[in-house]
Amino acid sequence: MERGLDHVVHVVRDLEAAGELYDMLGFTVGSRNRHPWGTDNRIVQTPGFFVELLEIADPGKIPPQEETHFSFGAFNRDFLADVGPGLSMLVLEGRDAAIDKLEFDKAGIGGLDLFEFEREGKRLDGVDVKVAFTLAFARDPASPHAGFFTCLQHFPENFWSPDLQRHMNGMEGVVGVVFTAADPGAHVAFLSAFAGMDSRRAVDGWHILKTPRGDIDVMSETLFTERFGVPAPGGPGLRLAAVRFAVGDMDRLRRRVSASRMSAEDIEGVVVVGPSAALGATLVFEAAG
């Protein structure tokens, strides 16, 4: 089963400061939501994809990791403590959580329990709505600072909002995500099993999976820095380094980034806001189409 991109987790120390950063870059940022396991989030939506800004709000509520129980809160708490703010997890769309788990188990990348939860959300008009999800987790033991799961939404009509998908910077959707690794080829089998599809090699040290919604690139740290002009996050294993966004009007985007007074690189037609400005993440803006 091929799986497209669903969202990424950008874990930060201060959720309001992260929201202000994305707002300055011209994104529409949703209001604060609370999880029962000690984390809070705010959402930046595109059609079918979103960035989840995440804060460890109440460490005392975070359940521990167990042999077959993956603790979302503990993983992101430990990520923040070990490497600092940044892109911690890639989430793919879930169509049948039981099948996802079965495929992950058979491929040797699973062995973790399904997780179901619901919470109250709030629309831009202030109305409370219920959202619910089932998660199926995968794991790459060689990549302790990269998390992976699929997400099946049970009330998608309550989650997706056209109003939240209108952005002042002209962003229209996701192009893809970029992982870095010292040896990209060593992780291709895992990523292929996770996404349910084969990869292709672009050049030595660069592999691409073209999912139904957005690309998954895995590049050497050297190639990443050459392409985007910013440092790659260090290993071990895979690190989720960048999100690539499609923009309808690049001149409008450049004006917005310039007005934010953030450090940005303009490289071969793409605008890159690097990890020193974007709280450990690299945000890449490319012309749509």
Taking only the tens place, the pLDDT of each residue in 160-194 is 999 999 999 999 999 999 999 999 999 999 999 99
Largest separation between any pair of C-alpha atoms in the chain: 51
Most confident of 9-13, 64-68, 255-259: 9-13
Average pLDDT of the chain is: 95
With CA atoms as reference, report the closest residue to 152 among 109, 117, 120. Answer: 117
In which band, very low, low, confident or very high, does the pLDDT at 1 lie, cut at 50, 70 and 90? confident
In which band, very low, low, confident or very high, does the pLDDT at 30 lie, cut at 50, 70 and 90? very high
* Arithmetic mean of pLDDT, 199-219: 96
Query: What is the per-residue pLDDT for 139?
Result: 96
**Segment 56-67, tens digit of pLDDT:** 999 999 999 999
Residues 6+ apart with CB under 8 A from 29: 19, 22, 23, 42, 43, 44, 53
With CA atoms as reference, report the closest residue to 46 among 208, 211, 159. Answer: 159
> Which ranges of 59-208 does DSSP label H, i.e. alpha helix?
72-83, 97-107, 156-159, 188-195
In which band, very low, low, confident or very high, does the pLDDT at 125 lie, cut at 50, 70 and 90? low
Query: What is the per-residue pLDDT for 129?
Result: 84
**Segment 31-47, tens digit of pLDDT:** 999 999 999 999 999 99
Query: What is the per-residue pLDDT for 165?
Result: 96
Measured at the CA of 78, the angle between CA 76 and CA 79, to 5 degrees, comes to 60
Q: For a pLDDT cut of 90, what percent of the chain falls above it?
A: 90
* Arithmetic mean of pLDDT, 1-9: 96
For residue 120, is pLDDT > 80?
Answer: no
Query: What is the per-residue pLDDT for 124?
Result: 64
CB atoms within 10 A of CB 135: 21
With CA atoms as reference, report the closest residue to 211 among 190, 200, 196, 189. Answer: 196
In which band, very low, low, confident or very high, does the pLDDT at 261 lie, cut at 50, 70 and 90? confident
Pairing relationship of beta strands 147-153 and 128-138 according to DSSP bridges: antiparallel
Is the distance from CB of 264 to CB of 271 less than 8 angstroms? yes
Q: In what order do the strands lie in the sheet with 270-273?
A: 200-203, 206-210, 215-220, 171-181, 239-247, 282-287, 270-273, 265-267
Q: Residue 35 — left, alpha, or beta (φ > 0 → left; ψ -120 to 50 → alpha)?
A: beta
Identify the three-state secondary structure at position 225: helix
With CA atoms as reference, report the closest residue to 6 among 217, 179, 177, 158. Answer: 177
Identify the three-state secondary structure at position 188: helix
For each of the domains in the chain, give its residue range(s) and CATH number, in order of start. Answer: 5-164 (3.10.180.10), 169-287 (3.10.180.10)
CA 287 centroid distance within chain: 20
Is the distance from CB of 184 to CB of 205 less than 8 angstroms? yes
Is the distance from CB of 11 to CB of 86 less than 8 angstroms? yes
Query: What is the per-residue pLDDT for 233?
Result: 96
